[in-house]
Structure 1
């Protein structure tokens, strides 16, 4: 049996919990921009440990670093919508890591594929 799917794009943005844009948490600014632009949805995931370009360890095990835990924002939508969002986010992304990945949506809500 072949499962019907819809081609889509997965945008992942890796940032620190303490990163900000225009006085608000960066993860919040990204999610609100995605919502404003009508993307299908966004999820913010908080990691218990990680390191980035500086190789500085961020972990819940070291109290003084626990305020800057790694975050991943995942957004899935059509390639066109994700690319428009990425262009709008560019000025606020700073030292983040951003990845794009082609995905196949199996289910989105009760209706199946993306709207």
Structure 2
């Protein structure tokens, strides 16, 4: 048997080189979400992407990285996600942020 609950999925698109408080921004966001007891967070690193400036960010054989794209996904109840977004807004200037309603399936 399983249960299905409605939650909100927050996605934050940023670059690997983005920083906050002396550490990678993706790390700072996940650690803060954990401190706040947010249900879950995952960081996804992409091999290729571009943003509003249309500048390609890519992994090349001869280079370790070129500010590769990173997506932070955070999930919890809508009110908790909204509160998190409000607190983190100074770090999210010029970042693409999306919100989606999702159905979470929980298995015992």
TM-score in same-fold range (> 0.5): yes
- Give the Cα–Cα distance (whole angstroms) in 1 for the partners of residues 73 and 58 of structure 2: 21
- Does residue 1:20 correspond to 2:19, yes or no? yes
**Where do 5+ consecutive residues of structure 2 fail to align?**
none
Counterpart in the other structure of 1:51: 50
TM-score between both structures, scaled by the size of structure 1: 0.86
Q: 1:98 to 1:20 in 2, by over 3 A?
A: same
Would you tell me which structure has more strand in proportion to its own residues? 2
**How many residues align structurally?**
107
Q: 1:55 to 1:82 in 2, by over 3 A?
A: same
**Where do 5+ consecutive residues of structure 1 fail to align?**
none
Q: How do residues 34-45 of structure 1 correspond to structure 2 at under 5 angstroms?
A: 34-45=33-44
* Secondary structure at the counterpart of residue 53 of structure 1: coil
Counterpart in the other structure of 2:73: 74
- Give the Cα–Cα distance (whole angstroms) in 2 for the partners of residues 57 and 67 of structure 1: 9
Q: Does the 8 Å CA contact 1:59/1:65 hold for their aligned counterparts?
A: no
Q: Which structure's relative contact order is higher, taking Cα pairs within 8 Å and 6+ residues apart? A: 2
Give the aligned CA root-mean-square deviation in angstroms: 1.7
* Secondary structure at the counterpart of residue 102 of structure 1: strand
Residue 41 of structure 1, CA deviation: 1.1
Residue 65 of structure 1, CA deviation: 8.1
- Give the Cα–Cα distance (whole angstroms) in 2 for the partners of residues 65 and 105 of structure 1: 36
